[in-house]
Amino acid sequence: MPRVAPPEPAVTGLARSRELGRGLAAAHATAAEAEALPLVLGESNRLVREHADAAEIDREGRLPEALRTRVAEAGLFGLTVPEAHGGAGFSLKSACAVVAEIARVERSTAIMIGLHSGLGTRPLVELGDEALKARLLPEIASGACIAAFAATEAQAGSDLTGIRTTGSVEGDELRIDGEKVYVTNGGFAGCYSVLARTPGLGGARAHSLLLVPRDTPGVSVGPEEDKLGIRGSSTVTVYFDGARVPRQNVLGEAGRGIDQAHAALAWGRTLMAAGCVGTARAALDLTLAHVTTRQQFGKPIGDFSASRAHVARMASRHYAAETLVRWVGHALAEGEPIDELSLLAKVLASEASFEICDRAIQLHGALGFIEPTGVARLLRDCRITRIFEGANDVLLVRGGTAVLSRRPSLSRASLATEVDPDLEREAKAWDALHARLTDARLSVAKEHGVGVVRHQLVLQAVARANLCLVTALATLLRASSAAGASERELGRHASEDLLLEAERHLDDLARAVRDEARVHAVSEHLYAPLRRPAAAEPESPK
Amino acid sequence: MSTHEAPTREHVVAMVAKILKVEAAKINGTDRLREDLGMDSLASLELLSCISDELDVDIELDEAMELVTVDDACAFVNRVYREQRQGASGSSS
C-alpha cells in the first residue's frame, strides 16, 4: 500500500465534475457491481432482519453464533476478499453500501462485517505473502477465520507510535510479546493483524504488521468489555506471551508498519463511516414514521415547522455523509488517494449519525428515551464512532496539518460553472468560501510555520472548514446530477448547511489562537489543585 | 545550545532522541524518520517545531514534509539556520 498524497478539494473541469457527480449518485463502483449490488443489499437486509434481534443482542451483549453462521453462509465475510481467493471481490464503495444496509437493521453485525472486511483483511490482501494469502484468504472469505486488527494499547491509542508490543527476531521466527486492548472481533477472531515494534527489522523504533493466527501458542484472549453501545460486537484484550510466527507472517515491507496501519485505517474508517450512514438512516426512518402518525394539537407533529426543521436537517446530514462516503469509494476505484478523504468521511459521518439519532430522540419525545422504541439504542450504538479508529479530535488535528502541509493552488476554482444552473447561487457561495480558506491557509502557514503543530485549535478549525467545503462540493455535484427535483432540493439544503458551517469555522480560525489562550487559562485553574505535591496539602483538622 | 552557534549533527540527533525517548547512540544518520524511527507526520512536525524553537529559525510546513532521514533533517536544519543567519546579518549590515 503506497503512501499517497492527500487530495485537494478543487474543481478540475466540467467533464470530471459531471463524472464525479454521477459517481456520487451511485452506490456501486463498477458495471458488474451495479447488477450484483441490489441483490446483495436485499439479501443482507433480509438475513439480518430475520436472524438479528437488535434489542436482544443489545441486552445479551453478544452476537449469537447462529447469526455468524448465517452471515458466513451468505458469503458476507468474503465481501472484499478477491474472487481468486473465494470472495466476492467487492470494491470499497459497494462494500460500504452493504455495511450501511446491515447497520440500518443491527449495528453490531455491521461492525463485525465492516471490521473484518476492512481493517481485519486489507493488510493481508494488500501486503501478504502469496502463500500466506492462498492459505488464509479462503478461510477468511468463508467465515471460518474471522479477521481482527490489533493496534491499540493501554498507553497508545491515537498515537500509535507509542506502542510497546514487540516482535523480536529469533532465527526464522518473530517472538511477539505485549497486549492489545479494545480489539474488535477479537473474541471470535481466527487471526489478528498486529502492529508491533520490530527493532530487529529496521531501525531502533521500526514497526511492522504481523499476521498472527489465534491458535498460535502464547496467544490468549481476555473477557468481553461491557460497553455503552454496539454491545453485541466483540471487544477484548488480546495477550501475546512469547507467541512465535514465521517471518513469512510479516505483512509487506518490514519497518513500514505505521504507514501500513494508516493505510488499513483508511479502509476501516470508511466502512465504519458507512455503518454510521446506515444507523442514521434507521433513525431517520423511525422518525418519519413517528412524526407522520403522532398527533398533537390536532395534527401530525411532523406538520409543524419546528419538526420539519429537525427532519430536513436529519435528511440533509444523512445525504452529506452518504455522499462523502461514496466519494471515498469512488476515489479509490479511480486510483486516487483516500487517506484524507476517509478521515473526513469518518469525522463527518460519526458526528452526523450522533446528531441525527439525538434529533430522532427529540422528535420521539419521552418515547425516544425509553429502550423498547429502539431510538435510544441507535444513539448509544453510534457514540463510539467519534472515538474509535482515530478520535475525531486527533483526526481533525491531523487533517488540519495535512491541509496546511501543501501549498494551495492559487488559481481560483469556479464551481459556479460546473453545477446545474439551478444550484449556481450555492456554487458561488462555495467559490467565495473556498477562496477565503485558501487565503487563510496562506496566512496561517506564514504566521506559524512548522510551529502550527502546537496550535491544535488552529489545525482543527482549518480541518473543519475544509471538511465542510469538501463535503459541500460533493453534495452540490451529486445534486447536480440528480434527475429528480426532490433530491436536488435535499442536496441544496445539505450544501447550504455545510457552507454556513464552513463560514463559522473560518470565523473560529480567525480567533483560534486567542481561544487557545483562554481555554488554557481556564483549564490550568482547574488542574492546579490536582498538581500540588502531596506535602503541600492542608493538614487534617485536629 | 546558544542560538548563535550553528546546529551540529549531534544537536539534531539529541533532539530526535529526546522526542522518541531512545538513546542518541541508537540513532543512525541513515535511519528513516518514518520507517526506522516510527515517526508519523505529527511526530515529524513536532521534531521540527522543537528545532525551530531551539535554534530560533523559521521552518515552513511544506518543506518539513519532504524530509526522509535523520541526515536529511540535519542537513535541512543546518541550511535553514545558515540562510536565515546570513539573511539577518546581511539586512543588519
Mean pLDDT (whole number) for A316-323: 98
A468 has a pLDDT exceeding 60: yes
Mean pLDDT (whole number) for A94-105: 98
Q: Which one from A389, A496, A524, A539 is the annotated catalytic residue?
A: A389
- Tell me the C-alpha distance between A123 and A267, whole Å: 10
Please report the pLDDT score of residue A47 as a whole number: 98
Q: Would you say A174 and B1 are in contact if contact means Cβ atoms under 8 Å apart?
A: no
Query: Can you tell me whether residue B65 is helix, strand or coil?
Result: coil
Q: What's the first-to-final CA gap in chain B, in angstroms?
A: 25
Q: Find the chain A residues whose C-beta atoms sit closer than 8 A to any C-beta of B.
A: 160-161, 197, 202-207, 253, 255-259, 262, 397-398, 401-402, 404-407, 445, 449-454
Among A197, A203, A258, whose Cβ lies nearest the Cβ of B28? A203
Q: Looking at chain A, which residue has its C-alpha nearest residue B20?
A: A205
C-alpha cell at A164: 510497546
A12 has a pLDDT exceeding 50: yes
Domains annotated on chain B, with CATH: 9-83 (1.10.1200.10)
Please report the pLDDT score of residue A308 as a whole number: 98
Q: Would you say A441 and A403 are in contact if contact means Cβ atoms under 8 Å apart?
A: yes
> How far does A334 lie from chain B, in Å, by closest CA?
25
A485 has a pLDDT exceeding 70: yes
**Tens-digit pLDDT profile for residues B38-69:** 787 777 788 888 888 877 878 887 777 778 88
What is the distance, to the nearest Å, from the Cα of residue A411 to the centroid of all Cα atoms in its chain?
Answer: 32
DSSP codes, A92-116: HHHHHHHHHHHHTT-HHHHHHHHHI
Q: With CA atoms as reference, report the closest residue to A52 among A6, A10, A112, A121.
A: A112
The pTM is what?
Answer: 0.92
B2 has a pLDDT exceeding 60: no
Confidence of residue A320 (pLDDT cuts 50, 70, 90): very high
Question: Residue written as cell 434481534?
Answer: A53
C-alpha cell at B54: 531551539
Please report the pLDDT score of residue A539 as a whole number: 47
CA dihedral A351, A354, A358, A361 (to 10 degrees): 160
- Percentage of chain A surpassing pLDDT 90? 86
Please report the pLDDT score of residue A412 as a whole number: 57
What is the overall mean pLDDT for chain A? 93
The predicted complex's ipTM stands at 0.77
**Tens-digit pLDDT profile for residues A28-60:** 999 999 999 999 999 999 999 999 999 999 999
Residues from chain A that touch B61, judged by Cβ atoms under 8 A, are 401, 404-405, 445, 449-450, 452
Chosen from B13, B20, B34, B46 to mutate, greatest number of chain A CBs within 10 A: B34
Task: Report CB contact under 8 Å: A445, B42.
Answer: no
Task: Report CB contact under 8 Å: A450, B36.
Answer: no
> How far does A407 lie from chain B, in Å, by closest CA?
7
| Partners of A244 in the β-ladder | A175
- Say whether A389 is catalytic: yes
Query: Can you tell me whether residue A73 is helix, strand or coil?
Result: helix
**Tens-digit pLDDT profile for residues A126-143:** 999 999 999 999 999 999
Question: Residue written as cell 481560483?
Answer: A412
Mean pLDDT (whole number) for A336-362: 97
Rg (alpha carbons) of chain B, rounded to whole number: 13
A7 has a pLDDT exceeding 60: no
**Tens-digit pLDDT profile for residues A147-174:** 999 999 998 887 787 899 999 999 999 9
Who wins on pLDDT, A118 or B9? A118
A99 has a pLDDT exceeding 90: yes
